[in-house]
Amino acid sequence: TILILDFGSQYTQLIARRLRELNVYCEIHPWDKAPDLDDAVKGVILSGSPFSVRDEKSPKPQVEKYKGKIPLLGVCFGAQYLAQNFGGEVLPSEIREYGRANLNFVSEDSLMKGVASNSQVWMSHGDTIAKLPANFEKICSTHDVEFAGFKIKDEATYGIQFHPEVYHSLDGQKLLENFIVGICKCSQDWTPDAFVESTVKALKEKLGNDKVIMGLSGGVDSSVAAFLLNKAIGTNLHCIFVDNGLLRKDEYATVLESYKGLGLNVKGVDAADRFYEALVGESDPEKKRKIIGGMFIEVFDEESHKVEGAKWLGQGTIYPDVIESVSATGGPSATIKSHHNVGGLPDFMKLKVVEPLRLLFKDEVRRVGRSLEIPEIIIGRHPFPGPGLGIRILGDITKEKVRILQEVDHIFISGLKKWDLYDKVWQAGVILLPVQSVGVMGDERTYEKAVALRAVESTDGMTADWVHLPYDFLAEISNKIINGVKGINRVTYDISSKPPATIEWE
Ligand code: XMP
């Protein structure tokens, strides 16, 4: 294990991903809750931070716990903290250094092995290390930053001023590999296969003969979690797949079939009409979400009572949901938005929770899914919100509007697949707008609804940009929609990025 102490940098999760790409297991901890050393810990990384070390309120971690005992690497703020606290001097830079820079000196140190002597690195800091402590030695420099990297003599303690974890630091991964593999001597055995094997074993021990119930959404996370549990406890896993009437066209039937075909013990519950009834006349986005979430819990609760003696609730929670984020104010980061996820545990259910994916990032969930040989049609699925089409029909929801949107969405999504664009897009869908506009079809004047197509690229949904879909593709889709779906006479394409817009419209 590598411990990453988080000081609130936007790049902390990226450090973790980069280590996981090297098949090394790591954990992120808030700097003020740093765990004690044990045999499993092979090294520690101090992240960057929005704080300056000169700031009185800046984080003051107890690095003595680790320093000199196991390898330690400070990045950006972490490096400055080490320099300042062990006898050096950190001053405001004359010019703030953001973005691209090139190394112009690289020492022979093992951390720098294979890093090109003029390698491009990515800087992001307003302070600079003006003086190194006496027992520190410089291991790299750039034109503007003399002490871009340092090491403590006779000790595996390092500091790097630039960000090796960002993709724009071209030899950054090499540097991290040198630290993790060469210096910390981590074995690179954190692979999807190894994860499946150890998780299944642990689940068997933990659950024994107990029954687990779990809500499936058709999405990647809940599916992979269910298949892992299934491998561990077989039919003691009782999955419930609720049709809330707000799924994509034919999704309920096809997903249910494919789950069953793969040997999952799953029960489909068609509750569409109950959801429609509960939603009648409601146009407020938050109220719609609450109604859909509340109804899901009601239906799920009823069904779970039919499973006698169930002790556990399985959930597809993943690592980004559980990391306690550190913000500049010391409280939980304001940028993280929490969503009501399908399968959330209502307190009154009195079940213990089992979350086999709580250590994984999204792309790792997919890798694990592939190692479990779950079909690509499930693994490669775009994210889809729990409230489904309910938050893509602006205004009130009726069965007829759902039907129309399902048709339009189907044309868009199958078009993306046909044009080989589906896997290049992170998420796509259609929004049914509450406006009507005038059109002409044949000799007739029409006055019908408009839709907006949305396709975004993203890595985690926190930020996103619209995808530059080919005009010819958009032309074909627009044509098919207007000619094929009665009630729609206008198609628009959403070209807003997140922020300031969001991916969904509600
Ligand atoms: P926004 O609209 O906030 O969406 O940019 C970010 C990601 O979250 C999904 N999303 C939801 N997922 N329950 C969910 O399970 C929800 O209530 C919900 N709202 C948005 C959205 O589809 C996108 O992937």
CA distance 477 to 382: 19
Which conformational region is residue 179 in: left (phi greater than 0), alpha (psi within -120 to 50 degrees), or beta? alpha
Tell me how far the alpha carbon of residue 382 lies from the centroid of ligand 1, in angstroms. Answer: 12
Q: Is 444 a catalytic residue?
A: no
What are the beta bridge partners of residue 137?
A: 151
The pLDDT value recorded for residue 361 is 84
Q: Which atom of ligand 1 is nearest to the CA of 498?
A: 5
Last residue of a domain, one of 138, 164, 183: 183
> pLDDT category, 329, cuts 50, 70, 90?
very low
Residues 175 and 298 in one domain: no
Last residue of a domain, one of 183, 212, 237: 183
∠ CA 97-99-101, rounded to 5°: 80
Last residue of a domain, one of 161, 183, 205: 183
Residue 170 reports pLDDT greater than 80: yes
Q: For the chain, how many structural domains are there in total?
A: 3
418 lies in which domain range?
398-493
Residues 356 and 336 in one domain: yes
Residues 10 and 47 in one domain: yes
Which residues contribute to the annotated binding site?
217-223
Residue 429 Cβ < 6 Å to ligand 1: no
Residues 179 and 222 in one domain: no
Q: Which atom of ligand 1 is nearest to the CA of 293?
A: 17
Q: What are the tens digits of pLDDT across the range 14-42?
A: 899 899 999 999 999 999 999 999 999 99
Which segments of 419-506 does DSSP mark as H helices, in order? 471-484
Phi then psi for residue 466, to 5 deg, are -70, 150
385 is a domain residue: no
Q: What are the tens digits of pLDDT across the range 440-478?
A: 988 889 999 999 999 999 877 877 899 999 999 999 999
Residues 9 and 42 in one domain: yes
389 is a domain residue: no
Q: Which of 97, 165, 407, 506 is catalytic?
A: 165
**What ipTM, to 2 d.p.?**
0.98
Q: Is 76 a catalytic residue?
A: yes
pTM of the complete model: 0.79
Work out the percent of the chain whose per-residue pLDDT is above 90.
82
Q: What are the tens digits of pLDDT across the range 36-63?
A: 999 999 999 999 998 999 999 999 999 9
Residue 172 reports pLDDT greater than 80: yes
Which residues contribute to the annotated binding site for ATP?
217-223
Residue 217 Cβ < 6 Å to ligand 1: no
364 is a domain residue: yes
What are the beta bridge partners of residue 488?
A: 449
CATH at residue 90: 3.40.50.880
Residues 419 and 453 in one domain: yes
Return the amino acid letter for 112: M
Q: Which of 240, 245, 192 is nearest to 216 (CA)?
A: 240
Mean pLDDT, rounded, for 183-205: 95
117 is a domain residue: yes
501 is a domain residue: no
Residues 234 and 120 in one domain: no
Residue 326 reports pLDDT greater than 90: no
313 is a domain residue: yes
Residue 61 Cβ < 6 Å to ligand 1: no
Q: What are the tens digits of pLDDT across the range 359-404?
A: 888 888 999 999 999 998 899 999 999 999 999 999 999 999 999 9
Residues 104 and 124 in one domain: yes
Residues 169 and 241 in one domain: no
Tell me how far the alpha carbon of residue 220 lies from the centroid of ligand 1, in angstroms. Answer: 14
CATH at residue 409: 3.30.300.10
Residues 409 and 367 in one domain: no
Are 427 and 416 within 8 A, CB to CB? no
Residues 428 and 312 in one domain: no
Would you say the C-alpha torsion 289, 292, 275, 456 has a positive or negative sign? positive
Residues 210 and 175 in one domain: no
Residue 344 reports pLDDT greater than 90: no
Q: Is 205 a catalytic residue?
A: no
